[in-house]
Amino acid sequence: MPELPEVENIVMSVATLLENQQIEFIEILDSVVVSGDIDLFRSNVEGQRIKHLNRKGKYIIFEMEKGYVILHLRMTGQLLKGDLEDKHTHLKIHLANGKIVSYRDIRKFGGFFFLEKEQLNAYFESRLGLEPLKMTYEEFNGALKKAKGSIKKILLDQKIIAGIGNIYADEILFYAGIHPQKNVEYFSKRRKEKLYEGIYVVLQTAIEEGGSSIRDYVNSEGKEGGFQDQHQVYGRKGKGCYVCKTPLKKITVAGRTTVYCPQCQTKR
């Protein structure tokens, strides 16, 4: 599933094509990728100008003149420049200038929906927590004080911190030297500060490297990311830690496969 760095790269790579452009029409090839009535969706969107493209957590937000189009890529969604013709392309955005952006999704778990302006804040406030690249340490610390359970579970909880998934939770915890099962209630101030630093450094570096291409992820130009080559633990079960050479271990935390270094990430 595309996480924050991948979604951010998609937004950056397609924004110049979409922003300030009018949508001429929406070509829906499979209605499963549009929530609600497809005729109502088209009438809400067609003819409108896209003012701005943004990201919130793992969501892509098209700010329209009236309302918002929201896209969540889920497992295998891709937003690609051009007129794609393959069987996995389910929706096309036709712009008034003749350009086309195609939505491709092998598993068809992702999709679009429309929100009125007054619905936006309430929708996200009930679903998403702090934006990790914008939160202050005080906000982060306040969220941790309210949370309970393992730190891996907390990092994956979108209602606490938005945008972090399995890949970056593992990488952040390695950076901070924290065991994924460690209970957040017993974190020292120093440990919290290192974790806060790790969230920013890992996510920002991943964005700069174009994200992680593990399976299906490419940006809107079809280019793979490069951060997967810098993964310290994710997907490296049994291989030697780059720091101490100890074989990395795999466990399950919060129902998710988790890889960590038992030497660098102790429960102490």
Catalytic site residues?
2-3, 58, 256
- Cα separation, 66 vs 61, whole angstroms: 13
Q: What is the 3-state secondary structure (H, E, C) of 220-256?
A: CCCCCCCHHHHCCCCCCCCCECCCCCCECEEEEECCE
- Cα separation, 250 vs 248, whole angstroms: 7
Taking CA atoms, 155 is separated from 6, 72, 110, 248, in Å, by 17, 19, 22, 20
Which residue in 26, 4, 266 sits closest to 158, CA to CA? Answer: 4
Other Cβ atoms less than 10 A from the Cβ of 70: the count is 20
196 Cα distance to chain centroid: 18
